[in-house]
Structure 1
Amino acid sequence: MNEHFQGKSLLAEKDFTGAELYTLIKLAEHLKYLKEHNIEHHYLAGKNIALLFAKTSTRTRSSFTVAATDLGAHPEFLGAQDIQFGKKESLIDTAKVLGSMYDGIEYRGYDQKIVEGLAQYSGVPVWNGLTDEWHPTQMLADFMTIDEVFGHIKGITLTYLGDARNNVANSLLVTGAMLGANIHLVGPKTLQPTAEVQAIAAKFAAQTGSELLITDDLDAGVAGSDVLYTDIWASMGEEDQWAERIKLLQPYQLNMAAVQKTGKDSTIVMHDLPAYHDLNTKLAQDIHAQFGLTELEITDEVFSAPFAKQFQQAANRMHTIKAIMAASLGHLFIGALTEE
């Protein structure tokens, strides 16, 4: 029986084992094959999924909607105006009501305590579509992309450049350590992960042999990297900090010089999107008017290069989200895999 996943929530990567995360990635690759070959996989026929979005989203919302539909389930979107935790109804009461009607709940928002409360009181599997602390569904897609490109995850060196204490950086550090990848976080000392997050990652690294490096030295951080990864310099809710972030993070821009400093010809580039690599967005235009910059965390040259895999990575959000929903609700037989 599927004791690893059935009925389980995905709130943060650290709640699973590295073998379980790797199993979900391999399941996602199988589901991607089924989709590409038009083979039906209605493992969740008759199920209803609540999609709670306190924060806006393009990829996460689309991924959960398409994944649920492909699996034969009905997804129902509830936006920030529809869910009012603590305003008109408490989190506990809302969770109990939703749990009585839906078979699974996705939550994307701010506080990790909300997604934990939903899981505690709803009685159904809950999936974290992003909180301030963690971004587990993004990680499954990221490491699936690495597995597809390189044929393995163990021993791959991934270097993240920029705001190294946001949810993506936290999750990369911990998930990479769990899967035996070497993770380098490169950014200014004021934007590095908390001691608590570093301790969680170090505990997993001790088991897998993953090498972790947190530094403000770009040259040391990128040397020998197989993957260079970046994210926007100010997350949702930090829009007032652009001036400070630009000053701090410009030296850590993912540009062609940084790619060449890896010393490898096979390095790929990843970005969880949206990316500010040109002036085709209102935000980029506003920043250009204020600071004179045409590119922010990644240059257009790198973003458009053949070794940039951000769109494969984005497409894999759907396949990995489908895997976690199928595994936790579909009564599938799944044996845990480990990468040898």
Structure 2
Amino acid sequence: MTYTLKMQNEKVPKFKNKNFLTLNDFSTEEILYMLDEAKELKQMQKAGKQHSFLQGKVLGMIFEKSSTRTRVSFEVGMLQLGGHAIFLSSRDIQLGRGETVGDTAKVLSRYVDGIMIRTFEHSKIEELANHADVPIINGLTDDHHPTQVMADLLTILEHKGKLEGLKVCYVGDGNNMAHSLIEGAVKVGMKIAVASPEGYAANEMIVQRAKKEAAKTGGEVILTNDPAEAASDADVIITDVWASMGQEEEQQERMKIFTPYQVNEKLCSYAKKDYLFLHCLPAHRGEEVTAEILDGKHSVVFDEAENRLHAQKAIMKLLMG
């Protein structure tokens, strides 16, 4: 599975007006095409070339969860693509005052060309998509974080030159990052091993669905309680915070449970010598990852953070262009 899809005389996938809710909604070819698009847009931006593919377009950005990277990358991305972005917090819109999701979707569809939402329940974004007449982009829900994983795949591709056949190790909570990593990895033929404490495993339905997909792509999904097993011969090691937004009350309990799952030098010694370390950020040094790893030579977390911009620009261009 090579990174040359757009160079080939393949039929171009149809993205216009599609929603971007989970990576499971897209084929292998579509994901590779989006990555190729992201690479091209990144090259154009670095070269200072104008790329106003969304001239005059407007993205509505609904934030029910706060954010640094998501807000800035989407807002800057729309600006670089020639469009505009409108920030809408839950305090600013009627959705937070009792208006139905369906009514909000119908109204915003009359004003904007696309909607990005960062929210809690995944069912809310599905309802938004059911009622909207413009593309809906998932900026994060409690169950999925697909834009982040597109940035992760782009980063791995840049540093490794391929995706297919690589082993990804994810250590930590079986949360939205774990779910989207599982879905994205199997779509591009990667092997993913997820190590979580008992009771914190990834959603079984998502895992089983991914295993069926892996049978078609040559990927593999492994769930374990042993971080060393997951990290063994890994090309990439990824982790996330132990308590996500909305789980602050569980912080102390989770600290005790997840301490054996810290990404440190000992754990990373099981990986390949040229492994990459990724983290979606913000990171808590000394908790889920040590400073030596996060700031070390294997870490590409700031390349990864930058690639949110380029991956999301590709998604917006293809859906809204």
TM-score for both structures, normalised by structure 2: 0.95
Partner SS for 2:257: helix
Partner SS for 1:160: strand
Deviation, structure 1 residue 90? 1.1
Deviation, structure 1 residue 194? 2.0
Residue type of the alignment partner of 1:228: I
CA distance in 1, matches of 2:90, 2:20: 21
Aligned equivalent of 2:7: none
Residue type of the alignment partner of 1:11: L
Aligned equivalent of 2:8: none
Deviation, structure 1 residue 2? 5.7
Conserved? CA contact 1:54–1:83, under 8 Å: no
Aligned equivalent of 1:309: 300
Are 2:59 and 1:53 aligned?
no
- Root mean square deviation, CA, Å: 1.2
Unmatched 5+ stretches in structure 2: 1-10
Residue type of the alignment partner of 2:208: A
Q: Residue 260 of structure 2 is aligned with which of 224, 243, 251? A: 251
Partner SS for 1:322: helix
Deviation, structure 1 residue 18? 1.5
Please list the CA deviations of residues 51-79 of structure 1 after superposition, one character each: whole Å capped at 9, or x if unmatched.
11110000010110011001111111001
Aligned equivalent of 2:228: 219
Please list the CA deviations of residues 15-67 of structure 1 after superposition, one character each: whole Å capped at 9, or x if unmatched.
11121011101110110000000000001101111011110000010110011
Conserved? CA contact 2:16–2:320, under 8 Å: yes
Aligned equivalent of 2:159: 149
Q: Residue 237 of structure 1 is aligned with which of 216, 221, 246? A: 246
Aligned equivalent of 2:85: 75
Please list the CA deviations of residues 248-298 of structure 1 after superposition, one character each: whole Å capped at 9, or x if unmatched.
111110001111122x21111000000001xxxxxxxxxxxxxxxxx1000
Q: How many positions carry a matched residue from both structures?
A: 311
Q: Residue 102 of structure 2 is aligned with which of 92, 96, 102? A: 92
Conserved? CA contact 1:106–1:128, under 8 Å: yes
Aligned equivalent of 1:129: 139
Q: Which has the higher contact order (CA 8 A, sep 6+)?
A: 1
Deviation, structure 1 residue 144? 0.3
Give matches, 1:251-290, under 5 Å: 251-262=260-271, 264-277=272-285
Residue type of the alignment partner of 2:265: M
Deviation, structure 1 residue 3? 5.0
Conserved? CA contact 2:13–2:30, under 8 Å: no
Unmatched 5+ stretches in structure 1: 278-294, 331-340
CA distance in 2, matches of 1:2, 1:86: 40
Give matches, 1:9-88, under 5 Å: 9-85=19-95, 87-88=97-98
Deviation, structure 1 residue 121? 1.1
Deviation, structure 1 residue 81? 0.5
Aligned equivalent of 1:161: 171
Deviation, structure 1 residue 188? 0.9
Residue type of the alignment partner of 1:19: E
Q: Percent identity?
A: 38
Conserved? CA contact 1:5–1:328, under 8 Å: yes
Residue type of the alignment partner of 1:178: K
Are 2:237 and 1:208 aligned?
no
Aligned equivalent of 1:194: 203
Aligned equivalent of 2:309: 318
TM-score for both structures, normalised by structure 1: 0.89
Deviation, structure 1 residue 152? 0.5
